[in-house]
Structure 1
Amino acid sequence: MGAPALLGIAAAAIALLLVLIVRFKVHPLLALVGISVATAFATGIPADAVVDVLTSGFADTMGEVALLVGLGAMFARIVETSGGAQALSDALIRGFGEHRAPLALGVAALLFGFPIFFDAAFMVMLPIVFTVARRLGGGVLIYALPAAGALSTMHVLLPPHPGAVAATVLLGADVGLVILLGIVVAVPTWYLSSYLYGRWIGRRIRLPVPDLLSGGPDTGQQPDPPRPRTVLALLLLPLVLIFANTGLSTAVDTGALGEAAWIPVVQVFGEPPIALLITVAVAMHVLGTRRGRTRQFLDDLLDNALKPIAPVVLITGAGGMFGGVLLASGIGDALAGTLGTIGLPLIVSTFLVAAILRVSLGTATVAITTSAGLLGAAVAQADLNPVQNAAVVLALAGGSSVLSHVNDASFWMIGRLLGMDVPTTFKTWTVIKTLVGVVAFGFASLLFALAS
């Protein structure tokens, strides 16, 4: 099947999916699975391979999301019922002031988001965000969106996150320079896109703090909450473990650290699901049994935390299924081939190619990797200096952020965990992701021009 036909099928599938969910109120899980099946047949995937393609895309996404969301929900409920979230939120508000609470949460998210993948860091931040929103009022989005945008900005632009690493390697840029310039770009990008817009739209769309993640309604003020520094230490525990894994991996890859038998063992403890598992176990002791909670109480608490998250996990997995079908059908290759002949300035081409692949395929990492592979030869031939090369990487990363929609797993996860319907998720998360990409591209272009 030719590229025009494949691209037409992809556009029609996305449009039909939106009509079913938004106009006819079909449950997103049913709509995503149904459209995935129809798209698989329409694009010519053999009938005996359709189920394998569907389950592969679903399983790949579930493998990344299910454990993180499940363990994150457990951790969130322990922190909330112990009064830990309240204690830390009180400390944040005392430090920054009530009117700067969204800024405080965003700054914390920028720090957490540097070494930690988006999904894991978001689950760790949620109980604090929810508690601040309950205390100060005004709806959950005004507090959640600046924090979520900060995590996404760091995930998109900076190594050691996978997309930025792939672009840096494939385009031959210097990792240290990409990190340095990435930080220079990421902070104002977050402020102009996620913080300012997140506060603005959060004031206009006031949603209550959902009970979905916490496994129950607000537990109220606890008479003897833990110290804020105890809760902060628990929040930092998974971040330290994951960052240690990242640091070891980087040291081994660059040759700064030789191979040793203990390295893989330490790295296992730094994988996000294992790091969160350790954190839940430590929190059960520190905030549970050590404070007089019985084993039965904790078991019931964790069981109730898991029950409400099934829709989030399943719908997110179905979004991954749809993206998997688009990849397996050859739509990504067809689009890459079509875009390879665009006669635009190099840095503009990198942004547009990554953006269109992102919109079509729904996964930022695949969009970055495909775009970098497609444009690698052109970048090499352009004889760029190191700053220009790093700027191209940042432009490519910015393109991979734009227009998050129904084929993106994060679209469903953010929307469901924050209690948003599909139109509201488009008005909030899709716009923030697009602003992050466009603003980052603007700063990257400025760096590219100044280095010329």
Structure 2
Amino acid sequence: MEPIEPVFGATTLLLIAAASVALLLFLIIKVRLHAFIALVLVSVLTAIAAGIPLADVPAALTFGFADTLGSVALLVGFGVMLGRLLEVTGGAQVLADTLINRFGEKRAPLALGVAALIFGLPIFFDAGLVIFLPIILTVARRFGGSVLYYALPAAGAFAAMHALVPPHPGPVAAGTSLGGDIGLVLLVNLPIVIIAWYVGVYLVSRFLGRRIDVPVTDLLFGPVNGGDDGDGDGDGNGTTTKVAAPSFATVLTLLMIPLVLIGINTVLTTLIATETVDENTVTDAFILLGNTPVALLISLLVAIVLLGTRGRTLNDTMSLLDAALAPICSIILITGAGGMFGGVLELSGIGAALTSALSGVGIPVLLQAFLIATALRVAQGSATVAITTTAGLLASQADQFSDLQIALLVTAVAAGATVLSHVNDSGFWLVSRFFGMDVKTTLKTWTVMETTLGLSAFAVAAVLWPLIS
């Protein structure tokens, strides 16, 4: 569905967006209305207020909802089932123990963050977060304290890599629009990401963890031992089954399957988009295998074979997986509704009006890139839309810059599109529900951390810009 021609001016549309966000927060935080109901209700009211024709309102609502569910529902479903198998069989504990033994107890959050940075190079934010979820929760349960100590370094690492580093779609699209060298964008942004993650995520997570106590949720994987029957095997039948935990190599293999497949998909897609490699049947086959839901499905099937038959029947394993799906229904619906709200804001023309108002302001180009991307991110929620739209606006000026300057422009655009994740961002709801945080707490933690991450990346780019000009 294409954005409508704006009925109102930029100022009016921005006031509508601000009022919509305020109403949503009021309904969820003060009235205590369920987030799914509140998101759908405010999406309807926003669509009408923004001038979307009444006959087109249902299509506008399903636009963002269906798009978000299409990318989230399958990977969350497969990812949670895989995570449940890893948690119940002791695989997550094995991996957590190995990380802690290598890094030490005090460096557990650092270990999770570094691992997530490595895994996050080819894997998208939401997929990486789902795969790492059982490991994060296992480590948090073992050492106690606020889950923020362990969740934010890992989640922030995936967010940083997804926003700033090729071959992820946002920086690739921005680099391509600006006529830059994607390889150089990767080389420039990789060290920037590491610095920005350490300052804007890791150090900030330690600060937030000391001040905000968020207990480890039992929503996804149940009590500490992964079962409710008291025997620790998680099958719910109350019988004691002593089974040795899987080896570290087995667990690592299960995690590497989606990493490798998705990585191949991402690299091939990027090479085809830049016309470095021609598309053919072989590349299409690998791209299919590396599609995130397909890659997770393959990993889950392998996990069923390697882990699901250890000390239990296949029927018991299927019951276990079926039970793992029940708690995520709310997560998927709320995340989809968050995408619905962001989609309505996008279709209403708020983003177009905003870019039109900001593109002519006389400020330095690096700051202009950051501010426009930030405004778009805040207005409509999608980081990818903010990145691609901002890069398109700056494309006419790109021929006056060197490849190094273009790489830093991509950094500034991606940094602006990272800050201020809030209620119109589906990722906000994913983090909120996965880690058992209410909206107010998520705003005080995840939103703050995303903002410090983006500001840190922009600060590094701003320091480097005069040195190469």
Give the TM-score category using the shorter length. over 0.9
Q: Is the 8 A contact 1:164 1:397 kept in 2?
A: yes
Task: Give how far 1:216 is off.
Answer: 5.5
Q: Which residue of 2 aligns with 1:210?
A: 217
The answer to whether residue 206 in structure 2 is matched with residue 199 in structure 1 is: yes
1:208 partner SS: coil
Amino acid in the other structure paired with 2:197: W
Which residues of 2 match residues 86-101 of structure 1 at below 5 A?
86-101=93-108
Residue 125 of structure 1 pairs with residue 144 of structure 2: no
Residue 4 (structure 2) aligns with: none
What is the CA–CA distance in structure 1 between the aligned matches of 2:55 and 2:269, rounded to whole Å? Answer: 40
Q: Say if 2:259 is the partner of 1:239.
A: yes
Task: Give the residue type in structure 1 aligned to 2:414.
Answer: A
Aligned residues of 1:70 and 1:306 also touching (Cα < 8 A): yes
- 2: CA distance between counterparts of 1:199 and 1:296? 43
Decide whether the 8 Å contact of 1:392 with 1:448 is kept in 2. no
Q: Displacement of 1:251 after TM fit? A: 3.1
Q: Secondary structure at the match of 2:326?
A: helix
Select the residue among 28, 42, 50 that pairs with 1:43.
50
Residue 77 of structure 2: aligned partner: 70
Distance 2:301 2:207 in 1: 39
**Letter aligned with residue 339 of structure 2:** G
The equivalent residue for 2:385 is 366
Instruction: Give the whole-Å Cα distance in 2 for the aligned partners of 1:415 and 1:123.
Output: 13
Partner Cα separation in structure 1 for residue 387 and residue 272 of structure 2: 24
Partner Cα distance (1:339, 1:255) in 2? 33
- C-alpha distance in 1 between matches for 2:328 and 2:279: 40
* Residue correspondences, number: 449
Q: 1:211, 1:218 within 8 Å by CA — same for their partners in 2? A: no
Give the whole-Å Cα distance in 1 for the aligned partners of 2:361 and 2:30: 36
Identity %: 54
Partner of residue 181 from structure 2, selected from 174, 177, 199: 174
Counterpart-to-counterpart distance in 2, 1:426 and 1:254: 38
Q: How does 1:36-435 map to 2 (within 5 A)?
A: 36-214=43-221, 218-219=225-226, 224-289=244-309, 291-380=310-399, 383-435=400-452
Residue number among 4, 22, 43 corresponding to 2:29 in the alignment: 22
User: Alignment partner of 1:119: what SS?
Assistant: helix
Distance verdict in 2 for CA 1:158–1:310, change over 3 Å: same
Q: How does 1:432-443 map to 2 (within 5 A)?
A: 432-443=449-460
Q: In terms of mean alpha carbon deviation, does 253-262 or 59-68 score higher?
A: 253-262
**How many angstroms apart in 2 are the aligned matches of 1:450 and 1:352?**
21
In structure 2, distance between residues paired with 1:257 and 1:108: 30
1:449 Cα deviation after fit: 1.4
Q: How far off is 1:252 after superposition?
A: 2.9
* Contact 1:215–1:306, Cα closer than 8 Å, also in 2: no
Q: CA deviation at 1:260?
A: 2.8
**1: CA distance between counterparts of 2:435 and 2:278?**
44
Tell me the amino acid that sits aligned with residue 370 of structure 1.
T
* 1:246 to partner: Cα distance: 1.6
Aligned-partner residue type, residue 80 of structure 2 = A
- Quote the offset at 1:195 in angstroms: 0.6
RMSD: 1.3
TM-score for both structures, normalised by structure 1 = 0.97
Task: Give the AA of the match of 1:304.
Answer: A
1:255 offset after TM fit, Å? 4.0
Distance in structure 2 (CA, Å) of the matches to 1:372 and 1:257: 24
Using the size of structure 2 for normalisation, the TM-score is 0.93
Cα drift, residue 215 of structure 1: 5.1
Shift of residue 141, structure 1, vs aligned partner: 1.5
Q: Does the CA-based 8 Å contact 2:168-2:266 persist in structure 1?
A: no
Q: For 1:387 and 1:302, how far apart are their aligned partners in 2? A: 49
How far does residue 233 in structure 1 lie from its aligned partner after superposition? 1.2
Once the two structures are superposed, residues 143-180 of structure 1 have per-residue CA deviations (whole angstroms, 9 ceiling, x without a partner) of 11110011101011011111111110111111011000
Return the offset for 1:328. 1.1
Instruction: Tell me the residue number matched to 2:237.
Output: none
Gaps of 5+ in 2: 1-7, 227-231, 234-241
Offset of 1:423 from its aligned partner? 1.0
**Aligned mates of 2:312, 2:466 — CA distance in 1:** 60
Name the SS of the counterpart of 1:445 in structure 2.
helix
The question of whether the paired residues in 2 share the 8 Å contact of 1:76 and 1:213 is answered with no
Amino acid at match of 1:348: L
